[in-house]
Amino acid sequence: MIEARFRAAGRKLLMPYLTGGLTDGWVEYLRAFVEAGADAIEVGLPFSDPTLDGPTIQEASDAALARGTTVRSVLADLNGLDLGVPLVASTYYNLVAHDGPERFCAALRDAGFAGLIVPDLPLDEAGELITAAGAAGIELALLASVVTPAPRLALIAERSRGFVYAVSLMGTTGERHEVDAASAALVERLKAELAKSGTARPVLHGFGITTPEHAARASRAADGVIVGAALVRRVLDGAGPEEVGGYLATMRRAIDQGA
Amino acid sequence: MSSITEVLPRTRAGVMVDPGPRGRFGDHGGRYVPEPLVAACDEVAAAFAEAWADAGFRRSLANLLALHVGRPTPLTPAWRLSAELGIDLLLKREDLAHTGSHKINNVLGQALLATRMGRTRLIAETGAGMHGVATATAAALLGLEATVFMGERDMERQAPNVFRMRVLGAEVVPVRSGSRTLKDATSQAMRHWVGVVDEAYYCVGSVIGPHPYPYMVREFQRVIGDEARGQCAAELPTGVPDYVVACVGGGSNAAGTFAGFVGTPARLIGVEAAGGAGAASGRAGVLHGFRSSFLQDGDGQITEAHSIAAGLDYPGVGPEHAHLRDLGRARYVTVEDSEVVEAAVRLARTEGIVPALESAHAVAWVIRAAASGELPPGASVLLTLSGRGDKDISTLMELL
């Protein structure tokens, strides 16, 4: 579903991220993201120990949990909402294992999610969740990194659903000064593997996308970008949906012009 | 709680052996790391397998353990405390190992491995600071740099160890997130590692983390159990103690001790802090790269451990301990902070040994179990005294 929607978009893709339950009325930010030209939205289900996240998403996770946010409360907040773009959940595996993969994926589907990202679940451990997600109609997108060797990259390309998440740098999520040069090579390798397996699954560039210029540059090689900390930083600093959406819109324009 | 006599020791083949390429201990273990760390874990696993099969590597390590650490550590009969308790208590003296705890056994193994892999810097997390001090020591000895992540709260509680690390030339990085203790220091070390895998080696301090760490750290710590096994054979009429007791945070001194006795009829007891009992009161979960038993709330969020001993302030337990628990081969019990302080002082005043508060957990359980009759009169007990209490002197002074 995500893949088809992406193809139908006919443009470079923009997937903003927000930590679910970060503020009162956090869902308003999602509406602003759609308004700004998001093609999908990644919603983080906050976890106490986000080991692949830098200071910004850590702070957001802590803030959301301190407000009493739970997986259930995030799903409840989204209940009945149709934003018109696919929603992709992201969280750490302990929260999936807590409910069990089947129940977890069914709950996501019932809340209107189309996809799922679990950064601490590498391919080798993902078998159970791949099966459960498939059965629930949730597309589990796998991560690829710049140091993933070729045969493994082929497996990741083949088994990922919805899109492939290209982790563009060796580090945690967060704002950066520039786009890592190694990332374009990773995207090219992934696209070659996807072509070999005969699919046109999009490759999205994540991590470190901070400015409109970064977004434009990264989306030349990739099919689109995922933007997290740059938006979450603004929310944590008190910016409202209109302001954060406005910043995302500048990224949208830069991507459309640069591509 | 089942009585000890119901937990019959089972000796089975295949317990505490190589967990295979996926690092599984029954339902536990594995490698739950982000994709950018998979290659680094593979590299450590391959290097360890090759080194551990190499007699030259083992000789180098044995030399360092003899000449630098002072191994073998003695097995000391606790004469006066034994008489008071009506049992036969033997102490495996890891407190006498260089740097003051068993941590150095593992660190020297991993530091040698890091050198073999061409790495120039060690990264470590530390709770009480003993693993940090050991890492700083090994780095100095082998000419490596060291970066140690330590929770801000632990840096306050264990200030002398922070100074020791700095004197040894290590960089100590305060961790200000979450509970500001070992859990958060571990998360921060893993985050840092992702960015520096080519240059730095992550020297995990306990039998936790992604495969191969729980297995590798147990192998480097099994020197405790192997030595104790031989020493008990010489010391005890039966050759094997009735009980083998060790404290458990992540569980490295217990894993090393148990490895020497898992094939004997000895009953294995792991003693956890009541406020940090990953094995005794945790639920199945995944954190820091492995599946095991963790303290968590009803929503699956990891909760904070609380113990007077900073080294036991960890919300989980090594995957092999969760497996030994599931098998019924080891039993995990808890003691309260107040019992721990009493036990530390009692050992000091009967045996002239001030134990680390972590190790005092094991002493506290033995004292309680001897008093309640859970340990039968005359039972022989091997207790691993994992570290010395110098670092805890100010904590003890405040409580006395």
Taking an 8 Å cut-off on Cβ atoms, the answer to whether A94 and B287 are in contact is yes
Place of tokens 């099969």: B53
Contact flag A51-B191 (C-beta cutoff 8 Å): yes
Residue B249 CA to residue B130 CA, distance in Å, equals 13
Angle (nearest 5°) at CA B200 between B195 and B203: 110
| Cα separation, B248 vs A12, whole angstroms | 52
**Residues of A with catalytic roles:** 42, 53
Supply B159's token pair.
Answer: 């200030």
Gyration radius (Cα) of chain B, Å: 19
* Contact between B35 and A125 using a beta-carbon 8 Å cutoff: no
Q: How does residue A259 score in pLDDT terms, banded at 50, 70 and 90?
A: low
Which listed residue (B125, B320, B339, B342) is catalytic?
B125
A173 vs A227: CA distance, rounded Å: 10
- Cβ within 8 Å, pair B197-A119: no
> Domain B24-64+102-202 belongs to what architecture?
3-Layer(aba) Sandwich (3.40)
For chain B, domain boundaries: 24-64+102-202, 73-101+222-399
Q: Where are the alpha helices (DSSP H) in chain A?
A: 2-9, 27-35, 55-66, 71-78, 93-99, 101-110, 127-136, 150-159, 182-196, 212-221, 229-236, 241-258
> Under CATH, what is the fold of the domain B73-101+222-399?
Rossmann fold (3.40.50)
The catalytic position among B92, B103, B183, B391 is: B103
pLDDT of A40 > 90? The answer is yes
Counting the structural domains of chain A, the total is: 1
Q: Are B219 and B231 in contact (CB under 8 A)?
A: no
Chain B 287-306, residues with CB within 8 Å of chain A CB atoms: 287-289, 291, 294, 296, 299-303
Q: What ipTM was estimated for this complex?
A: 0.96
Burial class (CB in 10 A: 0-12, 13-18, 19+), A105: buried
Q: What is chain A's Cα-based Rg?
A: 17
**Structural domain boundaries enclosing A191:** 2-258
Instruction: Say if residues B399 and B111 touch (Cβ distance below 8 Å).
Output: no
A18, β-bridge pairs? A43
Which pLDDT score, from 0 to 100, does residue B9 have?
Answer: 43
- Chain B residues 242-271 with CB within 8 Å of chain A: none
Q: What is the pLDDT of residue A197?
A: 83
**Identity of the residue in A71, A97, A171 whose CB atom sits nearest the CB atom of B194:** A171
How many residues are listed for chain A in this entry?
259
Question: Are B302 and A94 within 8 A, CB to CB?
Answer: yes
pLDDT computed for residue A176 by the predictor? 92
pLDDT in tens, A144-162: 999 999 999 999 999 999 9
Which residue numbers in chain B have pLDDT < 70?
A: 1-13
Same fold, B24-64+102-202 and B73-101+222-399: yes
Closest Cβ opposite residue A51 in set B22, B288, B299: B288
3-state secondary structure of B92: strand
Residue A209 and residue A222 in contact, taking contact as beta carbons nearer than 8 Å:
no
Does B179 contact chain A (CB < 8 Å)? no
Which pLDDT band holds residue A180 (cuts at 50, 70, 90)? confident
Tokens coding B83: 């008489």
Taking one residue from A and the other from B, the number of pairs with CB-CB distance under 8 angstroms is: 106
Closest residue in A to B283 (Cα) is: A98
Q: Which residue of A has its CA nearest to B22?
A: A124
Is B32's CB within 8 Å of A93's CB? yes
Answer for the pair A174, A168: CB distance below 8 angstroms, yes or no. no
Closest-CA distance of chain B to residue A247, Å: 28
Tokens of B308: 């007077």
A107 to chain B, any CB pair closer than 8 A? The answer is no
DSSP reduced 3-state for A223? coil
Say whether pLDDT at A202 is over 90: yes
**Can you give the CATH number for the domain in which A127 is found?**
3.20.20.70
Q: Cα–Cα distance between B72 and A180 in angstroms, integer?
A: 50
Residue B116 has a CB neighbour count (10 Å cut-off) of: 16
Distance from CA of A47 to the nearest CA of B (A): 6
Q: Classify burial at A215, counting beta carbons within 10 Å of its beta carbon; exposed 0-12, middle 13-18, buried 19 or more.
A: buried
3-state secondary structure B236-305: CCCCCCCEEEEECCCCHHHHHHHHHHCCCCCEEEEEEEHHHCHHHHCEEEEECCEEEEECECCCCCECCC
DSSP character string of B104-171: HHHHHHHHHHHHHTT--EEEEEESSSHHHHHHHHHHHHHT-EEEEEEEHHHHHHTHHHHHHHHHTT-E
pLDDT digits (tens, 9 = 90+) for B14-66: 799 999 999 999 999 999 999 999 999 999 999 999 999 999 999 999 999 99
**Are A97 and B191 within 8 A, CB to CB?**
no
